[in-house]
Amino acid sequence: MGEGIVRYKYDVWGEEVILGVSWDLLWVVAVAVLILLAAHAIIMAVLANKKMDKPSSEGRRVLRHETIDRLFHWIMAGSILLLILTGVAPIIGLRIAWLNWHWIAGLVLTFVVIFHIVRSLFWQDFKSMILGPRDFGEPFDSAKKPGKYSFEQKGMHWAVTVVVLAVIVTGLLMFIQIDTPFWNRTNSMPESQLGLVFLLHGLSTLALVALAATHIYFALRPEKLFYTRSMISGWISEDEMTANHDTSRWSPKEAD
């Protein structure tokens, strides 16, 4: 079996067949993310003294996330974390019966993502998540404030969208190959195609690990904690909104 970014082998006919991604990359991703986030934390700590006052969480509250959307977010977060844990377990040598948990979490993720796509297209303000040319200038101009979502938030959302859709599609193709309560395994996909599916699933998993770690890090940053709070309670204060958002581009209703 060859190793590099891709694991491959020669089959019985001497043809090169892809097996999947090299799981050494998991450690590369883990270390790289750790270094980058640590560097960000240090830089932010150094700059902290020059920061302006933190906006108050007191006063009038505006609605940032509706209950149904918060529920979606946490179910999705739970399923992704379970997918990562159960997927990584056999790679790092943990001997647990991971496969059933993995596909069940995968199905949950698939259903909530379908729900979210439908809801975002017809019941939410889809335009607020679209990345436009103005968004790209935002990080370089402190005078430019975002609407409901900042450039970083939109970037994270679309990166997660691409990666999650990739793990779902490849995961479903792998799901067909195993026994489930819904069907018996067929084990009939050609090895070369299966290898490609495993490779894409592995690559998107690595990206998801990096994105999840980055997302959790920023959710726990002191200056972003009010966003995390809003994902639990639904609201941010008017002060937090005006300090971080352009109210002409986002005018939410008052929170209950």
Binding site for other proteins (CB under 8 A): 1, 9-12, 19-20, 90, 95-97, 99-100, 177-179, 184-188, 191, 194-195, 198
Q: Are 117 and 129 in contact (CB under 8 A)?
A: no
Give the residue with the Cβ less far from other proteins, 45 or 97. Answer: 97
Q: How large is the greatest C-alpha to C-alpha distance in the chain, in angstroms?
A: 72
Burial class (CB in 10 A: 0-12, 13-18, 19+), 61: buried
Q: Are 244 and 145 in contact (CB under 8 A)?
A: yes
Q: Which is nearer to other proteins, 10 or 74 (CB)?
A: 10
Residue nearer to other proteins on the CB measure, 46 or 97: 97
Shortest Å, Cβ 99 to other proteins? 6
Contacts of 51 (CB under 8 A, 6+ apart): 223
Cβ proximity to other proteins, 19 vs 84, nearer residue: 19
DSSP per-residue letters across 40-54: HHHHHHHHGGG--PP
Nearest approach in angstroms of CB 90 to other proteins is 7
Residue 10 vs 126, nearer CB to other proteins: 10
Q: 190 φ, ψ to 5°?
A: -55, 145
Closest by CA position to 109, among listed 153, 175, 44: 175
